Amino acid sequence: MSTFTRYALTATTALVAGACVTTALTGYRQARIPLAKGLSLEGRSHPSGYTQLLADLTYQQEGTTVSEQSIFAALEGLIERAQDFLVLDLFLFNSDYDRTRGPEGGYPRLAERVTRALVNKRAQAPELPIIFITDPINTFYGSYSLPHLEQLADAGVQVVMTDLDALADSNPIYSAFYRTFLARLPELPAGLPNVLAPGRPRVSPNAYARLFNFKANHRKLALSEREALVSSANPHDASAPNSNLGLLVTGPVLADILASERAIYTLSGGQGEVFDRFEQVLTQGLRDRNGQSSEDHEPVRVQLVTEGAIRRVACQMVRAVEPGGEICLGMFYLAERSVVRELKAAAQRGVQVQALLDLNLDAFGRKKTGLPALPVARELQGAGVQVRWYATSGEQFHPKYLATYRKGEGGGIFELLVGSGNFTRRNICNYNLETDLRLVAPIDAHLAQEFTAYWSLMWRNEPVAGRPALLSLPYEGREEPGAMRSALHKLVYRFQEATGLGTF
């Protein structure tokens, strides 16, 4: 071997080693970026004003699919009633889906419906400030413009695309390589098919490179000076038939929600002065209404919980339930290990734990693997948790909530944690941006009784309007077939949850 060849090999080895070290350090550092001030918040517990439980349900009744939707009607009402400002933070906001696999006639035009409500409001109140925050996935990470967002901007709505690069990397093995190399590439021609919406404009390799970072502003909320709506529902056409749960609230918690949205607005390049004006209006309105009779006369308290605080609060809620108490969990994705362990421990100490889960087999006309639902359900069932599957027929059981009933003064205490955060590492461990609300009320409060009736309807398949209805299925009908396949599902789920190399 010549001297030149030895030098060349040595230099190449040094370059490769340097690139590997640089990539590893980048991955380590970027996976630990702290969230901006005002995020990952466990806010104060405030007395509530008016509180309304909002449920979207799709179910089977005598061979017919029935869809009862209330969340977006409530959103339209919130938009109509706003007088001083509107802030919306919505994850999926588009009409994109594979139209060769959707229902005959297509899905309801939900994105257009919300766009129309905002454009009409802007026309009625030209001076009303409206801020619309969303996620870059709606334009496939900058590959093309989105008509709904263009209509909003043309009407004078300020559209803010969340800066996802400012968030920690939930998929550090890939994202380290992306940040070190792929992010530095020039923008390439849009020549690749659109996997999210076949038939829509083609996308660039750069967009796919951004997609595989698997990070999102996953919030789903709307806020005015009078009220806030926090839910699990996306204004996305193919999501229209999904079952979801949300809350419409008034009172001092609005100030916490506004401050949390300000953090995302400034993180994404917005100037905070506009939120100064919103805060002044909101503070004055709360002061003016202080001492007036509440629209809800029950002693309900409400608390804002976001990002990693969702995991802390969920675990606290489960741990607080003593033997003889009850836990009800309704969840699209359940995977986060500390939450799973707490649920198993609660069942083993004598708490009745019921989990109603989506099978994770359907996504807008496409078939999925059943992960993480199948292995997690098997694990919970083995620990004494009662598991049922929501009876979907192409749509998703999409809510994210935890309810507990425990001993306390006046007969007992009901707690409900509900919002956008799936119980997965990506959603509730300070990677995605998420918003939940936590309610605390006496067990005999109207809100608690309303949730109990909602849960019983689904869990027991109670009649609707006097007619038989199918809302849930027993675990035994859809458990994993075969020990080998079950073991493989468990291995893949655990690996994906631990590393971020998965879509949940």
CA angle 5, 6, 7 (to 5 degrees): 90
Does the pLDDT at position 10 exceed 70? no
Indicate if 411 and 469 belong to the same structural domain.
yes
Q: Is residue 150 part of a domain?
A: yes
Indicate if 374 and 490 belong to the same structural domain.
yes
Indicate if 261 and 367 belong to the same structural domain.
no
Indicate if 418 and 467 belong to the same structural domain.
yes
Q: Is residue 435 part of a domain?
A: yes
Q: Look at the block and give the residue holding tokens 């599957």.
A: 389
Q: What are phi and psi of 356, to 5 degrees?
A: -110, 115
Q: How many other C-beta atoms are found inside a 10 Å radius of the C-beta of residue 427?
A: 28
Does the pLDDT at position 332 exceed 50? yes
Indicate if 184 and 316 belong to the same structural domain.
no
**Higher per-residue confidence, 227 vs 8:** 227
Indicate if 197 and 336 belong to the same structural domain.
no
- pLDDT above 90 covers a percentage of the chain that reads 80
Q: What pLDDT does residue 18 have?
A: 53
Indicate if 180 and 105 belong to the same structural domain.
yes
**Higher per-residue confidence, 272 vs 384:** 384
Q: Is residue 364 part of a domain?
A: yes
Indicate if 435 and 338 belong to the same structural domain.
yes
Q: Is residue 29 part of a domain?
A: no
93: domain CATH number?
3.30.870.10
**Which residue range forms the structural domain that includes residue 412?**
297-499
Q: Is residue 291 part of a domain?
A: no
DSSP codes of every residue in 220-253:
EEEEESS-EEEES----GGGTT-BEEEEEE-STH
* pLDDT tens readout for residues 357-366: 999 998 776 7
Does the pLDDT at position 480 exceed 70? no
Q: What pLDDT does residue 224 have?
A: 98
Q: Is residue 145 part of a domain?
A: yes
Picking from 264, 285, 306, the residue at the C-terminal end of a domain is 285
DSSP codes of every residue in 315-364:
HHHHHTPPTT-EEEEEES-B--HHHHHHHHHHHHTT-EEEEEE--S-EET
Indicate if 90 and 222 belong to the same structural domain.
yes
Mean pLDDT of 30-40: 86
Helix (H) and strand (E) counts in the chain: 14, 19
Looking at residue 118, the DSSP 8-state letter turns out to be H
Does the pLDDT at position 9 exceed 50? yes
Indicate if 115 and 80 belong to the same structural domain.
yes
Q: Is residue 41 part of a domain?
A: no
Alpha-carbon torsion, ordered 181, 186, 191, 197, to 10 deg: 70
Task: Output the pTM of the full model.
Answer: 0.94
Indicate if 232 and 314 belong to the same structural domain.
no
Indicate if 448 and 408 belong to the same structural domain.
yes
Total structural domains within the chain: 2
Q: What pLDDT does residue 78 have?
A: 98
C-alpha closest to that of 71 among 240, 199, 268: 240
Q: What pLDDT does residue 162 have?
A: 98
Which residues face 306 on adjacent strands? 435
Looking at residue 152, the DSSP 8-state letter turns out to be H
Mean pLDDT of 223-235: 98
Q: How many other C-beta atoms are found inside a 10 Å radius of the C-beta of residue 37?
A: 11
Q: Is residue 5 part of a domain?
A: no
